[in-house]
Copies of this chain bind each other. A is one copy, B any other.
Amino acid sequence: MNPTLEIFSQGEEIVTGQTVDTNAAWLSEHAVNMGLTVTRHTAVGDKLDDLIALLREISIRADCCICTGGLGPTSDDLTAEAVAKAFDLPLEFDAVAFEQVKRFFALRNREMPDSNRKQAMFPKGAERIDNAWGTAPGFSLQVGRCWFAFVPGVPNEMRHLFLESIQPTLASRFLLQPNRLITIRTLGLGESAIQQRIDAIEIPAQVQLGFRASPDDVQTKLLFPQNYPEAAMTTLVDKMAVELGDHVFAIDGLGRASGDLVFTVDQLMIAGQHTLAVAETASQGLLAAKCIGAQWLLESRYQQSLEKLGQSLAVTVNADDLIASAQAIAGEINKTGCAELVLVQLYSGDNKTFHDKDRAIILYNVLLTGDGFHQTTHSVAGPIERKQNQAALLALDLLRRYLQHKEL
């Protein structure tokens, strides 16, 4: 079994919600990649008793713990004191740490306030973690089962101290076997639909299966232990990808560059040296916005009224046949513009339907290419921001499917 790690974040600003704790996620991701099992994140405020209780809990529960925050010079920075009290250790003055704190102020031509002296007081038995990035040195300490590392909560300092000191120490203290994470990214299938499709595939007990639904995709995650045979891994991933079919737009973790849908489209557009013009309705600019900086996106337009969109291009549109209307619009944009591909998105449903989270709009996407028209139709419900986002993604996904099939 992998050694267990807990993350402990200290600070009133975290527990009251003034600051989102990004440190915990950053540290966890790095720890998991190293082969540690992260079992808990805990955040508490600046109350000495809470800190003491938590430190004691963790010391009997985890193999190691990284604690951020509470190392500053002010009265609410209580970490060293809490550690001393929790484990009945005296605080001792560290002359080297004190010199480092003093030097930090001298370098900035600032006088060191007396309160900073406390940053050089560590519990007996602690090892100093030098901090070239701020005033507060960190420290580490073995207590019973658990190896603790205490570092400042400032993200930049914390990251440096982790990479330069904590990571190598963990690697030498524990026998680690990094896992391998494969993520299959899909669009257009819900979590439960995915589970149904892959239900018949047998997943070995050592492989952990998980799902993550975000506004932009649904991710099917497979976590393989280090020594899992490469061929068996590939076979399992391929089986799943086959069941999920065309909905799969990327697979992360196989060593190829991969990412979100926009990344996939971007790679395909650049590889094929394509260019694109877009007319958006329900996504209202979001499709273009998602492709920020892409050289292949030459132009995009949004018109609130279908009639005005037709007029601006001098084509006849018909709200009762949106596929034909989208084809006519795409044809005209193709004639007047200079993009090779033209993507037109229309939708049916009035303004009230669009705003009503309980009603669905129907999206009509038409892609005009050198070999003719390609189209998809989708029903999308939910809050207006979801409709907008899905509209942008589903139109881009039509482009992605076309480009991927062309590549095959």
Q: Given contacts A24-B43, A289-B284, A302-B301, is CB(A212)–CB(B13) below 8 Å?
A: yes
Report the minimum CB–CB distance from A231 to chain B (whole Å): 26
Q: Which of B17, B108, B357 contacts A38 (CB 8 A)?
A: B17
Whether A259 is near chain B, meaning CB under 8 Å from some CB there, is no
Report the minimum CB–CB distance from A7 to chain B (whole Å): 9
Report the minimum CB–CB distance from A8 to chain B (whole Å): 10
Whether A310 is near chain B, meaning CB under 8 Å from some CB there, is no
Q: Mark A18-53, 1 if CB is under 8 A from B, else 0.
A: 111110111111111000001111111111001000
The answer to whether A195 touches B113 (Cβ under 8 A) is: yes
Q: Mark A234-275, 1 if CB is under 8 A from B, else 0.
A: 000000000000000000000000000000000000000000
The answer to whether A385 touches B292 (Cβ under 8 A) is: yes
For A20, list chain B residues within 8 Å (CB).
Answer: 20-22, 24-25
Whether A354 is near chain B, meaning CB under 8 Å from some CB there, is yes
Whether A178 is near chain B, meaning CB under 8 Å from some CB there, is no
Chain A interface residue count: which class? 35 or more
The secondary structure that dominates the A interface is mixed
- Give Cα A388 to B297, complex, Å: 15
For this chain, the copies found in one complex come to 2
For A302, list chain B residues within 8 Å (CB).
Answer: 285, 288, 299-301
Q: Mark A349-391, 1 if CB is under 8 A from B, else 0.
A: 0010011011110000000000000000001011111101000
Q: Which of B40, B110, B280, B354 contacts A15 (CB 8 A)?
A: B40
- Give Cα A136 to B162, complex, Å: 38
Q: Which of B38, B210, B287, B381 contacts A285 (CB 8 A)?
A: B287
Q: Which of B27, B193, B286, B360 contacts A109 (CB 8 A)?
A: B360
A:122-157 near B, CB below 8 Å:
132-133, 154, 156
Q: Given contacts A14-B41, A38-B15, is CB(A297)–CB(B304) below 8 Å?
A: yes
Closest to A107 in B: B381
Give 5 A-B pairs besides A108-B360, A293-B351 with Cβ atoms closer than 8 angstroms: A17-B25, A21-B25, A74-B192, A156-B383, A286-B292
